[in-house]
Amino acid sequence: MPDPRELLTLEQYRDEVRSLLPGPTAGETVPLEPDLPALLGRVLAEDVRARGPVPAFANSAMDGYAVRWADLAGLPARLRVVGEVPAGSPADPAIGPGECVRIMTGAPVPTAADTVVPVELTDEGVDVVTIGSAPDRGTGAHVRAAGEDVAAGDVVAPAGTTLTAAVLGAVAAAGHAEVVVRARPVVAIASTGDELVAPGGDLGRGQIFESNGTQLAARAMQLGCVARRGPVVRDDGEAFVTALDALADGSDLVVLTGGVSVGAYDIAREVLSERAGGTFRHVRMQPGKPQGWARWRGTPVLALPGNPVSAAISFEVFGRAMIDALLARSPERPWRAVAGTSWRSPGGRRQLVPVALDTDDQGRLVATPTHRRGSASHMVTSLAGADGLAEVPEDATEVSAGDLLTIRRVR
């Protein structure tokens, strides 16, 4: 166990809190219908493999005529139309020399044909058709081969994939009516602080609107969790213990904000340290330096700093790592972008700056801080326009326009 006063890197502290978890949540089988709305954002617990080849059979990419390429040797070609195959038809008409069949997009290509001629290249004849020119692509033109998308048994979505509309479409195309997904982690969230007033109320002197709870609960939901909201916890030891008992019961993770610093009323730090052996650390990052964790009746508790930008960024870095571990989700690959402007960074701490992303004339991704004062931790509304968090390395004291940055996406 490292010395609690030691400054940890972001990765060291992330690994420390992630090791509090017992492992991923259980897998559960959920049908696509009627539970589609409940599946969006959930994470696959098992690979989804194609039940058969996709496409399932060789079929036409065009409305036109299924022909034998050899019959197009002399153009124009006059062919006898000996049948018709609409989409969904099981027909497999025989086609002899000088013959063809009308075929529609998606219909199975007759075994005897090798090429489809689109109607646009013909006189659209019903009994006899005249084909003026052959498809440029030659033999096999406009025939979609069985299995050319995926072969039977191929993985269409690996375990750890988050279900989006596109992934769910692929699952359905692969023939599955249900998927096995991780149970949604239950994340209980509460803010601490006597100064906090619910939005909509009136502010007295020294009071502010509570916003961390709303932001973190919404983000936990976006990340695939069930968010449980507790009432604001007052800066009082007994109230804190009672609140924590309720939050921890039945939750996979408790996230608290505020009261982790060294102030006289920093109740989270006080109670978790004294009654749960809580560990409070300084992490080499800005914002988000003061951090703490504990176990309360066996449930991991993450105590984040109260400053809204610090809380949000800490959750993005540490809370998200824990949620991804609970869901066994494949980690998102960071992006690279160039800085759109210059700013200063505290040496010795990794700076995480909310940035908006855009592209420039050369097609480069450009990251620009959403607030002119960079990552000041009380600039609560600077988060709203952020597409990502730019990471400035510990050894940098400033960022110049054009510098290459690593970006964590937050949308």
> Under the rule (CB under 6 A), what is the footprint of ligand LQZAQKY5?
191, 193, 195-196, 208, 210-213, 257-263, 266, 287, 289-290, 305-308, 310, 377
Of the listed pieces 19-27, 122-130, 195-203, 305-313, which binds ligand MOO according to CB under 6 A?
305-313
Here the tokens at position 118 are 């689109």
Going by C-alpha positions, the residue among 43, 21, 87, 55 that lies closest to residue 295 is 21
338 φ/ψ angles, rounded to the nearest 5 degrees: -95, 145
* Least distance in angstroms from the C-beta of 292 to ligand MOO: 12
Q: How far is the CB of 195 from ligand MOO (least distance, A)?
A: 16
CA 270, CA 240: separation in Å to the nearest integer? 10
Does 211 interact with ligand MOO (rule: CB under 6 A)? no
320 to 359, contacts with ligand MOO by CB under 6 A?
A: none
Q: Which of ligand MOO, ligand LQZAQKY5, none does residue 345 bind (CB under 5 to 8 Å by kind)?
A: none
Report the residue number, 209 or 335, with the smaller CB distance to ligand LQZAQKY5: 209
Residue 201 or residue 331: which is nearer to ligand LQZAQKY5 going by CB? 201
What single string gives the DSSP state of each residue in 41-99? Answer: T-BBSS-EE-SS-BSSS-EESSSEEEE-GGGGSSSSEEEEEEEEE-TT--------TTE
297: left (phi over 0), alpha (psi -120 to 50) or beta: left
Minimum gap (Å) between residue 192 Cβ and ligand LQZAQKY5? 6
Element (DSSP H or E) covering residue 391? strand 388-392
Shortest gap between Cβ of 267 and ligand MOO (angstroms)?
A: 17
Q: Pick between residue 30 and residue 410 the one whose CB is nearest to ligand MOO.
A: 410
In sequence order, the 6+-apart residues with CB closer than 8 A to the CB of 67 are: 79, 95, 100, 113, 114, 115, 116, 117, 131
d(CA 395, CA 402): 18
309 vs 198, 245, 369, CA distance in Å? Answer: 18, 27, 13
One of 115, 122, 161, 286 touching ligand MOO (CB under 6 A): 286
What is the number of the residue whose Cβ is closest to ligand LQZAQKY5?
306
In terms of C-beta density within 10 A (0-12 exposed, 13-18 middle, 19 or more buried), how is residue 277 classed?
exposed
Q: Report the nearest approach of ligand MOO to the CB of residue 344 (Å).
A: 14
Q: Which is nearer to ligand LQZAQKY5, 110 or 305 (CB)?
A: 305
Q: Which stretch binds ligand MOO (CB under 6 A): 172-180, 235-243, 287-295, 385-393?
A: 287-295
Which of 93, 306 has the CB closer to ligand MOO? 306
CB of 376 to ligand MOO, least distance (A): 8
Contact, 25 vs 324, CB < 8 A? no
**Complex with ligand LQZAQKY5: residue 2 or 263, whichever CB lies closer:** 263
Q: C-beta of 322: minimal distance to ligand MOO in Å? A: 18
Query: Mask: binding to ligand MOO, 368-397, rule CB under 6 A, as x and -?
Result: ---------x--------------------
Classify residue 192 by its DSSP letter.
B
Please name which of 386, 392, 409, 300 lies closest in space to residue 10, comparing C-alpha atoms: 392
- Report in angstroms how near the CB of residue 350 gets to ligand MOO at its nearest: 11
- Please give the Cα distance from 69 to 71 (Å, whole number): 5
Report the distance separating Cα 411 and Cα 395, nearest Å: 28
Give me the residues that bind ligand MOO (CB under 6 A), please: 286-289, 305, 307, 310, 377
